Structure 1
Amino acid sequence: MTKLDRGPWADSGVETIRPDVHRIPLPLPNDGLRAVNIYALEDGDDVVLIDGGWAIPESRQVLEAGLAALGHDLGDVSRILVTHVHRDHYTQAVELRRLVGSRVYLGAGERPGLDMLDEIRTEVPVTSLDTLRRAGAGELAERVLRDMDRGEFDASVWEKPDQWLGPGVVRFERHALRVIPTPGHTRGHVVYLDESRGLLYSGDHVLPHITPSIGFELTTSGRPLADYLDSLHLVTAFADAELLPAHGPAGGSAHARVAELLDHHDARLDATIDALGRRTSDASAVARDLMWTRHAVPFAELNAFNQMLAVNETAAHLDVLVERGRLAVELVEGVQRYVRTDDDGTGDSR
């Protein structure tokens, strides 16, 4: 559902953002996002990476070439600060630790998901499928389950980090980065703010052209969209900074993009309640009456995986509307069904 057009930002090579700060896009084959930006921070003789990329040969080759262009090699990577646990950010960090001994840092909110993998080592658990079933999309959940290539899942690439991060500041020889927990995309997502240089390494929390999926992870976060909106507001509590995202071109005001994302979700909440109308219905039915992606694609034209993201995102918006008093919800035979309360959250009736 989140497809990012390929452009110069995704091409292999090194972009210098500031002295000692460089963007290296790593490939994501067969993924609509095309590439993931990792950031190489030169720190004396060492290199600190923001995010690690996906542990595949193509990614490692491009990373090695990028470091070589800066006069470094993999052995110079002393630390990797990861924004969240998704494979395109975390798994190559684990691989580099095995290869050269890099230390891996990860937000403490990701711990429950990695703890779960200690118990389930043979196949990936997907709590998003449970959300689908509660949304009235049981058939879609079974279709997604059949489509998943579960036989090749290797939980070992999600080893525990060397250090769990909470809010605070991590300091290196030339860099000091403020760790800001920003749950939403995942419950343990963090962003890193370089206050002296005015740079925000935003991971998937703030992206320049698309909105991130919400709550697609190993464990259920409970209120992923509400958490995400709170996390967007939190970013604006700090000084504005240049946006350095994980997907898409670097640059521009982080605060300005946050304002756009908040406006988008306000409009999406209105569209969701309009799609529900005066009926009592589940998230699956509402999702089918909405358009998807910035290209306004009908639900029926999405593939099964993106239909899952669409239904779960709709459920998240409906739950925020319940939290704001505009909807009521009840569980009927395992399915959540929503109905308007005629309260728009301001005290005015609609």
Structure 2
Amino acid sequence: MTPDPAAPRDPGVSTAHAVSPDSGEHWTAEGAWRVADGILRIPLPLPMDGLRAINVYVIETDDGLTLVDGGWAIPVARELLERCLRDVGYGLGDLRRFLVTHVHRDHFTMATVLGQELGIDVALGADEKPALDLLNNIEDLTENPFVEVLVSAGAREVAEQWVRMDDDREPPDMSIWAYPGTWLEGDHEIAVGHRTLDAVHTPGHTPGHFVFAERAAGLLFAGDHVLPTITPSIGFTMPEVDQPLGHFMASLTKVRGLPDLTILPAHGPVAPSSHARVDELLAHHERRLDDSARLLGAGPVTAYDVAQGLGWTRHETPFAKLDVFSQGMAAMETKAHLELLVARGRATREAAPDGLRYAAPGS
């Protein structure tokens, strides 16, 4: 569960072509790249994912290593992590703790596997517990948990295709979804060796997302909250939460209130200014809200209807050309925008047999 490749991308250098200043190479290039004194960036692969890699950050201390995020628990990623650590004089035995930004598999699953194997702490936001509860009781589910969300967005046919795709998949390996040793709650400080990190709760992409800011070094371990070349998916959350886009934009504003920091993102190159990027992301979603409001027309229409009138990816790809998974992601993200329009009084909502329907006020 990663940022949505179908989500609208912002202007600028694309993720596919971005060079990171710490390496001087494409941001996915193999290696343990030093981004600051005592901090290394290791890109780990994401097979079959449009993002291609996740950046795992290694913080060196006198007592060993703290990792921010862990990667996806697949053999190729573990082998690369071990190789990159070995190249700079470390091994898995030097790991002491994981600070995980959020529960998605590319961030959490290798952290929890290694945490259990090595007997070290894994910390995760407390508001991710409902998702882990659902995953750890998956045998009790009667259907894909996203079906209800897709149907409410007016995307019943897409939901049926998602169910068929699920039928073709192997059952999930529940060993990679163990509960963390520490639940992060509220904004607080975390000591990492001689460093002090501000753990800042930033719900939106997921309910329990955290970023970690080291003010003294001018660094922001941003997870998927502030990405330099794309926007993270919004609304792709189980169980469903109220106002994910509203939470995301409020969290962006919270991060904007921190000092201007160098962005150490989970996906993409190291970037120079959290303030500049937050401003771009907020402006991007305000434009998307305006575009969605204009497509309400006389209404009432579903989120699926509105999504079909929007362009997707930085190439403004028509909705009809997206694959079925991306169409579902797009419908859920559009629903998140429409729900925020309702909260702001710029749209109305009513229940209908084919899903929630939205209209401009007074129409």
Name the TM-score class by shorter chain. over 0.9
1:97 aligns with 2:119: no
Residue 164 (str. 1) matches residue 183 (str. 2): yes
Offset, 1:120:
2.1
Distance 1:121 1:196, change over 3 A: farther
CA distance in 2, matches of 1:34, 1:122: 33
Task: Find out whether 1:194 has 2:210 as its counterpart.
Answer: no
Number of residue-to-residue matches in the alignment:
343
In the alignment, the residues of structure 2 paired with residue 324 and residue 111 of structure 1 have an alpha-carbon distance, to the nearest angstrom, of 29
Aligned to 1:5: 16
Q: Distance in 2 between matches of 1:123 and 1:328?
A: 32
Match of 2:287 in 1: 267
Counterpart amino acid of 1:12?
E
SS in 2 for 1:54: coil
Q: CA RMSD in A?
A: 1.7
Extract unaligned runs of 5+ from structure 1.
Answer: 344-350
Higher RCO by CA contacts (8 Å cutoff, separation 6 or greater) = 2
The DSSP-based 3-state class of the residue aligned with 1:238 is: coil
State the 1:145 CA deviation.
Answer: 1.5
Partner SS state of residue 154, structure 2: coil
Tell me the distance in 2 between the aligned counterparts of 1:111 and 1:257. 29
In the TM superposition, what whole-angstrom CA distance separates every residue of 1:110-165 from its partner, at most 9, and x where no partner exists?
Answer: 01111223322587975332111011111110101211344331223111100001
| Residue 247 of structure 1: aligned partner | 267
For 2:234 and 2:254, the matched residues in 1 are separated by: 17
Per the normalisation by structure 2, the TM-score is 0.91
Q: Normalization by structure 1: what TM-score?
A: 0.94
CA–CA distance in 1 between the matches of 2:183 and 2:361?
42
Matched to 1:291, the amino acid is G
Q: Does 1:177 align with 2:197?
A: yes
Cα distance change, pair 163–124 in 1 and its aligned pair in 2 (3 A) = farther
Shift of 1:279: 2.4
Percent identical residues: 45
Which residues of 2 match residues 314-325 of structure 1 at below 5 A? 314-325=334-345
1:290 to 286, 290, 310: 310
Matched residues in 1 for 2:169 and 2:129: separation?
22
Matches within 5 A, 1:212-231: 212-231=232-251
Partners of 1:25 and 1:123 in 2: CA distance: 35
1:78 counterpart SS class: strand
Within 2, Cα distance between the matches of 1:126 and 1:105? 27
Q: 217, 226, 230: which one pairs with 1:210?
A: 230
Residues 36-63 of structure 1 deviation map (CA, whole Å, 9 limit, x = unaligned): 0000000114000000000001101111
Structure 1's 124 and 53: CA in aligned 2 closer, same or farther, altered over 3 A?
Answer: farther
Matched, 1:57 2:75: yes
- How far apart, CA to CA, are the structure 1 residues paired with 2:302 and 2:112? 40
**Given residue 5 of structure 1, which amino acid in structure 2 is its aligned partner?**
A
CA–CA separation in structure 2 for the residues paired with 1:126 and 1:37: 29
Query: 1:119 is matched with which residue?
Result: 137
CA distance in structure 1 between the partners assigned to 2:324 and 2:338 by the alignment:
21
Change in 2 beyond 3 A, CA 1:102/1:124: farther
Task: Confirm whether residue 277 of structure 1 aligns to residue 297 of structure 2.
Answer: yes
Distance 1:298 1:110 in 2: 33
2:276 aligned partner: 256
Deviation of 1:101 (Å) = 1.8
Within 2, Cα distance between the matches of 1:271 and 1:23? 37
